[in-house]
Structure 1
Amino acid sequence: MWEIARDSGVLDLNSSYAYVLWGAEFSESSVVVEVEGQVVGFVTGFIRPSEPDTIFVWQVGVDADQRGKGLAARLLHSLLDRLAERGVVRLRTTISPDNEASQRTFGAVARDRGMTLSSEDYLSSELLGEGHEQEDLYTIS
């Protein structure tokens, strides 16, 4: 997962420890897909304690060789299908304004599920610092 995040050019890169820990401690709210023993895609997320009916998706990463094949959307559908059994009915995530690929992916997932995608200002670039672009909050409900 760390290598996919590193090579993506758009995801904030966390330590390899963070990705291993995420897989171990948040496996119920995350998805990893492998091809021939190699991780080629992942979704990391968590159930918000204050909103047990909401999954917050932290990162979606797809290996460069697998991009453009709908893998990210399939991973999100898989996660939402699995979490529906736990009463999760809403997805939230943050997306920077220039990440049109993610905006399209989350829009497609919302349409496929007959749901609505909305967005609002969330985290300003000043708050995030270090030249980080603002992050808007997207909700599928």
Structure 2
Amino acid sequence: MPKDTDKPRTRAPRLRKPLATDGADIWALVKSCKPLDENSMYANLIQADHFRDTCVVAELDGDIVGWISGHMIPARDELFVWQVAVSPKARGLGLGKTMLLDLIERDACDGATHLKTTITEDNAASWALFRSFARAIGGQLDDVPHFERDAHFDGHHDTEHMVTITLPEADALIRAA
């Protein structure tokens, strides 16, 4: 069967730490990725500047097509992933999982024993991403309701489930790769 030469080849996005100057582009990306909650442009700028060691930008042909915001939870050996955004033009490349794998290999995340994130019950894409990530690293995924609709959001937002994934030790992660 002949190769389909009409299909454009997709290069792999380049992953890097964000810069403060990426704040506006990150904000625009998140805004284009419904149903993600939009933060202020200033919040994305602060994340890109102050938390750059625990955030990831994916760049393709000069455009930001992927973003993970995260931070180490103070006084705990846990990495919290706040948002994962992938541009519609970069979907289907496994970019979300690739960015997560890149993030947990960062020096800033060396002490992390768990990755935590919150996901609403109906966010099928996020559940699929984090389940796939847990399988890829051989981690256990657990979840419990955490920020509840009525108790925490005054009825204005669906309950967020706290997802916890055990992270392998660094040497086990290297062997798995």
Question: Is TM more than 0.5 here?
Answer: yes
| CA displacement, residues 99-128 of structure 1 (integer Å, 9 cap, x when unaligned) | 011011101111110110110010111222
The count of corresponding residues between Structure 1 and Structure 2 is: 140
Q: Which residue of 2 aligns with 1:113?
A: 137
Q: Which residue of 1 aligns with 2:58?
A: 33
Give the unaligned 5+ runs of structure 1.
none
Show structure 1 runs of 4+ deviating over 4 A: none
Q: Is the aligned partner of 1:5 residue 2:30?
A: yes
Contact 2:78 2:112 in 1 (8 A): yes
Q: Which residue of 2 aligns with 1:129?
A: 154
Contact 1:29 1:83 in 2 (8 A): no
Contact 2:79 2:109 in 1 (8 A): no
**Distance of aligned partners of 1:99 and 1:132 in 2 relative to their CA distance in 1, 3 Å threshold:** same
Residues of 1 paired with 2:155 and 2:40: CA distance?
18
**Distance of aligned partners of 1:63 and 1:85 in 2 relative to their CA distance in 1, 3 Å threshold:** closer
Q: Percent identity?
A: 35
Q: Which residue of 1 aligns with 2:116?
A: 92
Residues of 1 paired with 2:79 and 2:101: CA distance?
12
The CA deviation at 1:37 is 1.6
Contact 2:54 2:108 in 1 (8 A): no
1:104 corresponds, among 110, 128, 131, to 128
**Distance of aligned partners of 1:139 and 1:65 in 2 relative to their CA distance in 1, 3 Å threshold:** same
Q: Is the aligned partner of 1:81 residue 2:81?
A: no
Give the unaligned 5+ runs of structure 2.
1-25, 167-177
The CA deviation at 1:133 is 1.0
The CA deviation at 1:84 is 7.6
Residue identity opposite 1:102 in structure 2: S
Residues of 1 paired with 2:88 and 2:122: CA distance?
19
The CA deviation at 1:77 is 0.6
Give the match's secondary structure for 1:87.
Answer: coil
**Distance of aligned partners of 1:111 and 1:84 in 2 relative to their CA distance in 1, 3 Å threshold:** farther
Q: Normalization by structure 2: what TM-score?
A: 0.75
Residues of 1 paired with 2:72 and 2:109: CA distance?
13
Pair member with larger Rg: 2
Contact 1:4 1:40 in 2 (8 A): yes
Q: Normalization by structure 1: what TM-score?
A: 0.93
Residue identity opposite 1:63 in structure 2: S
Give the match's secondary structure for 1:92.
Answer: strand
**Distance of aligned partners of 1:71 and 1:13 in 2 relative to their CA distance in 1, 3 Å threshold:** same
Residue identity opposite 2:56 in structure 1: V
Residues of 1 paired with 2:32 and 2:96: CA distance?
16
Residues of 1 paired with 2:158 and 2:129: CA distance?
19
